[in-house]
Amino acid sequence: MSQLLPTPKKSKKPLIPNGNSLTLASSRQLIKSNSFPPDDLIHEKWLPGVFGVLDIGSTKITCLIGQGKSNGKLQVLGYGWRRSHGVRQGGIVSLKAAERAIRSAVGQAEEAAERRLNKIYVNLSGGKPSSQIFHVDYPIGGREINTQDIYRIVNEGVLRAQINGREIIHALPLSFEVDETAGIEDPRGYQCNRLSTQVHVIDTSSTSLRNLATVLTKAELEIEAIVSTPLAAGLAVMTADERDLGATIIDLGGGTTSIGIYSENQLIHTSQIPIGGTHITRDIASILSTSIDTAEWLKTTRGSVEYLYGDSQQIPIQIMGDNDYDSVINISLSKVISIIRPRIEETLELIRDRLDNVNVGYNTKNRVILTGGGSLLDGIGPLAAKILNRQIRLGKPNNIIGLPDDNTTAATFSTAAGLL
C-alpha cells in the first residue's frame, strides 16, 4: 500500500523496563503506519515483500503469511491456527499457555510458507480499547501547507488524548478543513490561514499491552504494528462503497464482539462488548451438564437462532464426568436453540444500544455487516435485522486466496485477512 506521508524518523518508546520491550509507534510513526487505511484492495498499492500477521482470539489463534499479487489479490503462502489457550475476552490471562499456542500457530505457518518470521502484525482486542474524536485547529498564516503541518496537527490531537495508564494505538485524522473548504483528504499544497481536522484516537490499557508484548517476546516475535480489530475486519470484509457511503462492521468473536463505524472511507468510531461465542459454549455446557468440547460441537454443527421444522429431532450427548460412553442423554435440537438464542439476543440488544447512543454526527442506521465466527449461526441475519432495525448482510474476506478453511467458514478469518 502506498503511504500518504513519507517515512519519518523512528522513535522508540520502551514499555517494559526489564528488556522485554514493545516499541510503540511515536506520534509520527502512528501517522506513517496507521492513519490512512487503503480505500480499496488494488494491486498497485501492495507493499512489496512477504508479511506475517497474528490474530490472537479467545477461541483460536491464527497466523497468516502472505503477499500481494499482481492480479490485485492477496495470496496466503502459509497458515497456522490452533485452539486458543491463555486468552480470555481478548486479553492474556496465562503467559505460558498463550506463548505455547502462539508458537504452535506461528510454527505451522512458517513450515508451510518455508519462511521464518521475526516481526509480526497483531490485532488489538484486549485491554478494553476506547475510541474518541478530537477537533484540532492549527494556524498556517496564509502560506502553503506542508507535511510537517500535518504531523503537528495530528500530534496535537494525540497530546490531548493521552491519559495515564492508556497507550494510543491509532491516531486517524479524518478529512481536513482548509479555511472554509471542508472534506479535503490531503491538504498539502493548499494555501490557507487555518487548517482543521478531527483526529480519531483509539487507545488501550498499558498493562494489557505490556502483557501482549511479553508473551510475543517470549515467543521470539517482535511487534511490527498493532491494529484495531474493527479496522482490520472492515478492510477485509467491507466493499469500498460501504466504507465510503457509511456502514457498520460487527465482528462476532469468541470472547468479545467488536464494532466499527465507517463513513467517507474512514473508521470514525469503535466499540467493544465483552460477550462472544465462548459465552454461548459455556451456556450450553452448563445447562446440559456436558463438556466444553461437546458444547462447542453442538454450537458449531447444530447451532441456530431460529426454530425450524424438524428441530424436535434428538441428539445424543454424553454427560459431563461420566466415563461410561454408553451412558448418554438425548436432547432435542430445539433445546440447543433455546440456549443459544437468548445469548445472541442479549448481544444484539447491547450492540443496538451502543449504535443508538453513538454521537459521531453520522446516521448509524445504515447497513450492518456481520462477520466472525458468531455470524455463521443459522438464522442470525434475520434476527439481527429485527433487533438492530438495520439492513444486514453477512460478510467474509474479499480478494484473498488460500485461507485455512473452506468458503463456508471464511468469516472466522476476517480479522487475520484484514491484518494481512
DSSP string for residues in 378-409: BTHHHHHHHHHTS-EEE----SEE--SS-GGG
Name beta bridge partners: 52: 65
Instruction: Please give the residue that has the higher pLDDT: either 327 or 348.
Output: 348
**Confidence label for 340 from pLDDT (cuts 50, 70 and 90):** very high
Residues 245 and 264: their CA atoms lie apart, in Å, by 6
- For residue 224, pLDDT over 50 is answered with yes
pLDDT, residue 362, reads 65
| Average confidence (pLDDT) over 322-348 | 85
- For residue 48, pLDDT over 50 is answered with yes
| Average confidence (pLDDT) over 38-59 | 77
| Average confidence (pLDDT) over 16-36 | 38
Q: Note whether 253 and 233 are within 8 A (CB).
A: no
Residues 342 and 303: their CA atoms lie apart, in Å, by 13
Distance of CA 181 to the CA centre of its chain: 33
**Confidence label for 90 from pLDDT (cuts 50, 70 and 90):** confident
Q: What pTM does this model have?
A: 0.84
**Confidence label for 310 from pLDDT (cuts 50, 70 and 90):** low
- For residue 151, pLDDT over 70 is answered with yes
Name beta bridge partners: 61: 56, 82
- For residue 137, pLDDT over 80 is answered with yes
> For the chain, which domains are there?
27-127+206-237+404-419 (3.30.420.40), 130-204 (3.30.1490.110), 240-395 (3.30.420.40)
CA distances from 152 to 67, 149, 177, 226, 284 (A): 33, 5, 15, 22, 53
Among candidate residues 214, 219, 224, the one with its CA nearest the CA of residue 19: 214
230, three cell numbers? 474493527
Q: What is the DSSP string of 101-154?
A: HHHHHHHHHHHHHT---SEEEEEE-SS--EEEEEEEEEE-TTSB--HHHHHHHH
Among candidate residues 28, 416, 2, the one with its CA nearest the CA of residue 227: 416
